[in-house]
C-alpha cells in the first residue's frame, strides 16, 4: 500500500533566472542532463516532485506527484496512454479538488500511434435544457458575478465521467474500476497537505464555511488544514468505488444523479450564515441527455509541423492556431527578445479580438472555424502589426469569411472571465500513443458546493457564458442557451512532424490565459529553441485584447519591460500565469516529461523506466 506523499512547498524564486539560464537547442535534438531525470526520494518511498524526467515505457506529467504516480502505476501494469490519463485525472480529483473532479468537465486530445491520427472529446459542461439567454439576468440586469459563482445557477451538467468512459470505449484497454483504484486508495488513505492546498482552502474559507458539507470536508473542526497533515476523503473513495462498480450511469441516471440534482436545485447552505445561494434548475433529464462529443481536432501548420488541438466549443484550438498563423511569416528564431515578445503579444491581441466575435458552441452558433484557421485570413490580420507601434485594445475583429487586409471590423467583444485553477495532464505510452487532457471545475473551488456524502465539489462553469451582450447591436456567440456549452479557452495540444509522428504535447490551466500560455510555450520551444522544461518555466506574458498586457514578475522586473513600453505597450503584473505540463518524443525513442519548476508549488514529471 502506497503511503501519503509530502509535496514540495511553493518557492518564490524568480522565473526570469530560469529563462536566462535556458540552454538553446534545436527542436527535439537534446534531452536535459541525465541527472535531471532522477527523482530525489520523496515521502514514504514515492519519488518527490521533479519537473523533468527522461526514459522509456511511457511518461506522465501533471501538477501533482501522487497523480502522476497513479498514471505511471497503470502504465507499468500494461495500460495505455488513455488508461493512464483517466487514472491520473481521477487522482487529481483527490489531491487537486479545487481544480478538477467528477463534478466538472474538460477537453481530451488523443494521438493514436497505429493510425497516426489525432482524435478529440469535448467533455464540456452544459447548461440546463430550461436555460435561455437571460439565465443570469434579474429584472433585466446581470446579477453580480460573485452571486453567480457561489450558486446552483452557475452549475453545468458535469462532463468528466462521460469523457472518461467515452475515451475508454474508443481507445482504452482497461475497465474504469481498475483505473479508479489508485485514486480511490489515495482518497481513503489520504495525501499530505502542502502550502498550496492550504492557501487555496484559505482563499475559499469564507464561502466554504457557509455550506455544511463543504465545511465538514475541507474545514474539519472549523479550521484550515495544517501543512504536513494527512487529508482524507472517504466520501470520495466511496463515490469512486460506486462509479467503478456501477459505471458512469450512476452519475447520469442513478442515485448519484439524484444527489447532484437535489444539491444544485436547493444548495445546502447553512441558514445561520445569511448567504443567499441562488438555486439552479438542473433536472434528471439534463443529466440523462448529456453526451461527451467525439469530434475532429483543429489543425494548423507551423514551421513544417502539424499542430492539433480542441475545436469549439473551446476557443483554444482556433485562437492558438490563428495566432500561430499570424506569426508564421516572421522568423522568431532570429528576433531579439523584445521583438519576439512584441510579435507574440500583438498576435495574441488580434486572435482574441476574433475569438470574442466568432467562437461559441457550434451546436448553436455558426462558427467559422475553418476560416479562422486559414493562412489567408491570418495574413490579412498580421499586416496590422507594426515593429515600432502597438495596436490599441479593445481591437475590433475581422471577418474571416470576407477577409480584407488590415481592415477594421465590428465593435470589439470583451474577454469574459474564466476561472484560472483548472489542471492539465499529459501522458505517453510505450506504443507511442499520447494524451493531452485539460479538466476543470472552473475557478478555485468551483461553486463552493459539495454534494453531501459524495466528497466532490460542483463546478461553476456556466459563469463562462456572457451574462449579457456587451453591445446589443453586435451578436454575442457566448450567451447561454438550453443545453449549450459555454465557451472555453482550454487548449490541450499535440504537435506532429511531417510524417505524423509526435514531437511534443502540452497544455495548461489558467482560464483565458491558457491560450497565451500554450502559444508562448510552443513558440519558445519551436522558435526560440528552449528545452521543453525551460519553455514551460519561462516568465510569461498574456494579452487578451485588453488595454494592458499581464506580466509575471520575471518579465515585470526585466529590462525588456522598458524596451516594450518605449514603443507603447502597457503592462500590469500577474504573480502567476498558467501551470503547464508536456511530453516530448526524443529522436532515440525515449520520452521526456516536463512540468512546472515553481508555479503552483512545482509539477511532477515521471517516466516508467528512467534512463541515464
Q: Residue 308: beta bridge partners?
A: 299, 494
Q: Which of 88, 300, 422, 423 is flagged as catalytic? A: 422
Is 422 catalytic? The answer is: yes
User: Residue 90: exposed, middle, or buried by beta-carbon count in 10 A (0-12, 13-18, 19+)?
Assistant: buried
* DSSP secondary structure letter of residue 464: G
| Gyration radius of the chain's alpha carbons | 22
Task: Tell me the three state secondary structure of residue 298.
Answer: strand
Q: Residue 542: beta bridge partners?
A: 550
Which of 304, 4, 251, 303 lies closest to 125 in space, CA to CA? Answer: 251
CA distances in angstroms from 382 to 305, 351, 405, 410, listed in the order given: 20, 10, 9, 18
Which of 608, 595, 610 lies closest to 63 in space, CA to CA? Answer: 595
CA distances in angstroms from 23 to 29, 117, 299, 480, 533, listed in the order given: 12, 32, 30, 47, 11
Counting Cα atoms < 13 Å in the Cβ hemisphere of 579 gives: 27
Question: In the 3-class helix/strand/coil scheme, how is 184-204 assigned residue by residue?
Answer: HHHHHHCEECCHHHHHHHHHC
By DSSP bridging, strand 571-573 and strand 549-551 are parallel
CB-based contacts of 276, cutoff 8 Å, min separation 6 = 147
Annotate 263-296 with b (16+ C-beta within 10 A) or e (fewer): bbeebbbeeeeebebeebbbbeebbeebebbeee
Which of 1, 427, 483, 449 lies closest to 215 in space, CA to CA? Answer: 449
DSSP string over 417-456: P--S--EEEEEEETTS-EEEEEEE-SSTTTTS-BPTTT--
Q: With contact defined as beta carbons under 8 Å apart, do 260 and 158 qualify?
A: yes
Query: CA 386 to CA 372: how far, in whole Å?
Result: 21
Which of 141, 136, 394, 156 lies closest to 261 in space, CA to CA? Answer: 156
What cell does 297 get? 481536432
Q: Read off φ and ψ for residue 380, nearest 5 degrees.
A: -75, -20
What cell does 371 get? 476560416
To 5 degrees, how large is the angle CA 364–CA 369–CA 373? 165
CB-based contacts of 259-264 (< 8 A; 24+ apart in sequence): 259/451, 259/452, 259/453, 259/454, 260/103, 260/158, 260/287, 260/451, 260/458, 261/286, 261/287, 263/152, 263/449, 263/451, 263/452, 263/458, 264/152, 264/155, 264/449, 264/458
**Residue positions annotated with a catalytic role:** 422
Amino acid at each position: 500500500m502506497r503511503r501519503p506523499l509530502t509535496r514540495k512547498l511553493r518557492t518564490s524564486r524568480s522565473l526570469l533566472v530560469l529563462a536566462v539560464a535556458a540552454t538553446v537547442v534545436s527542436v527535439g535534438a537534446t534531452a536535459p542532463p541525465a541527472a535531471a531525470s532522477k527523482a530525489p526520494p520523496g515521502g514514504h518511498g514515492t519519488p518527490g516532485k521533479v519537473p523533468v524526467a527522461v526514459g522509456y515505457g511511457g511518461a506522465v506529467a501533471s501538477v501533482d506527484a501522487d497523480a502522476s504516480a497513479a498514471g505511471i502505476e497503470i502504465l507499468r501494469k500494461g495500460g495505455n496512454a488513455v488508461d493512464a490519463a483517466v487514472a491520473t485525472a481521477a487522482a487529481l480529483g483527490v489531491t487537486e479538488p479545487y481544480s478538477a473532479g467528477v463534478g466538472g468537465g474538460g477537453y481530451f486530445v488523443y494521438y493514436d500511434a497505429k493510425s497516426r491520427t489525432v482524435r478529440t472529446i469535448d467533455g464540456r459542461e452544459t447548461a440546463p435544457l430550461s436555460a435561455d439567454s437571460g439565465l443570469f439576468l434579474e429584472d433585466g440586469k446581470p446579477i453580480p458575478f460573485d452571486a453567480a459563482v457561489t450558486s446552483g445557477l452557475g452549475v453545468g451538467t458535469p462532463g468528466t465521467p462521460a469523457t472518461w468512459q467515452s475515451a475508454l470505449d474508443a481507445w482504452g484497454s482497461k475497465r474504469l474500476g481498475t483505473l479508479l483504484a489508485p485514486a480511490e486508495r489515495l482518497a481513503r488513505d489520504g495525501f499530505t497537505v502542502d502550502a498550496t492546498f492550504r492557501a487555496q482552502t484559505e482563499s475559499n474559507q469564507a464561502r466554504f464555511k457557509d455550506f455544511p458539507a463543504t465545511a465538514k470536508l475541507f474545514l474539519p473542526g472549523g479550521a484550515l488544514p495544517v501543512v504536513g497533515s494527512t487529508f482524507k476523503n472517504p466520501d470520495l473513495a466511496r463515490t469512486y468505488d460506486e462509479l467503478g462498480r456501477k459505471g458512469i450511469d450512476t452519475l447520469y441516471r442513478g442515485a448519484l444523479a439524484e444527489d447532484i440534482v437535489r444539491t444544485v436545485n436547493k444548495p445546502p447552505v447553512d441558514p445561520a450564515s445569511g448567504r443567499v445561494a441562488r438555486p439552479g434548475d438542473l433536472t434528471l433529464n439534463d443529466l440523462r441527455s448529456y453526451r461527451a462529443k467525439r469530434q475532429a481536432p483543429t489543425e494548423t501548420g507551423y514551421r513544417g509541423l502539424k499542430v492539433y488541438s480542441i475545436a469549439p466549443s473551446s476557443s483554444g484550438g482556433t485562437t492558438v492556431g490563428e495566432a500561430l498563423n499570424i506569426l508564421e511569416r516572421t522568423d522568431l528564431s532570429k528576433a531579439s527578445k523584445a521583438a519576439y515578445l512584441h510579435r507574440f503579444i500583438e498576435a495574441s491581441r488580434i486572435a482574441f479580438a476574433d475569438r470574442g466575435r466568432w467562437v461559441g458552441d457550434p451546436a448553436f452558433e455558426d462558427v467559422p472555424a475553418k476560416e479562422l484557421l486559414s493562412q489567408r485570413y491570418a495574413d490579412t490580420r498580421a499586416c496590422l502589426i507594426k515593429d515600432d507601434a502597438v495596436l490599441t485594445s479593445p481591437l475590433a475583429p475581422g471577418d474571416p469569411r470576407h477577409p480584407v487586409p488590415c481592415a477594421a471590423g465590428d465593435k470589439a467583444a470583451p474577454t469574459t472571465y474564466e476561472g484560472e485553477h483548472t489542471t492539465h495532464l499529459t501522458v505517453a505510452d510505450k506504443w507511442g500513443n499520447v494524451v493531452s487532457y485539460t479538466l476543470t471545475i472552473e475557478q478555485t473551488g468551483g461553486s463552493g458546493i459539495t454534494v453531501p456524502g459524495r466528497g466532490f465539489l460542483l463546478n461553476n462553469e456556466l459563469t463562462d457564458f456572457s451574462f449579457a451582450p456587451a453591445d446589443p447591436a453586435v451578436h454575442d456567440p457566448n450567451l447561454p442557451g438550453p443545453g449549450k456549452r459555454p465557451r472555453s479557452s482550454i487548449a490541450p495540444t499535440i504537435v506532429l512532424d511531417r510524417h505524423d509522428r509526435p514531437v511534443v504535447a502540452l497544455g495548461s490551466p489558467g482560464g483565458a490565459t491558457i491560450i497565451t500560455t500554450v502559444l508562448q510555450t510552443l513558440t519558445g520551444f519551436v522558435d526560440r529553441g528552449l528545452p521543453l522544461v525551460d519553455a514551460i518555466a519561462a516568465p510569461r506574458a498574456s494579452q487578451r485584447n485588453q488595454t494592458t498586457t499581464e506580466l509575471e514578475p520575471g518579465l515585470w522586473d526585466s529590462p525588456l519591460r522598458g524596451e516594450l513600453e518605449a514603443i507603447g505597450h502597457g503592462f500590469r503584473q500577474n504573480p502567476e500565469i498558467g501551470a503547464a505540463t508536456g511530453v516530448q518524443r526524443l529522436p532515440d525513442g525515449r520520452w521526456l516529461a516536463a512540468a512546472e519548476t515553481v508555479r503552483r508549488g512545482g509539477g511532477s514529471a515521471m517516466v516508467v523506466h528512467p534512463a541515464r
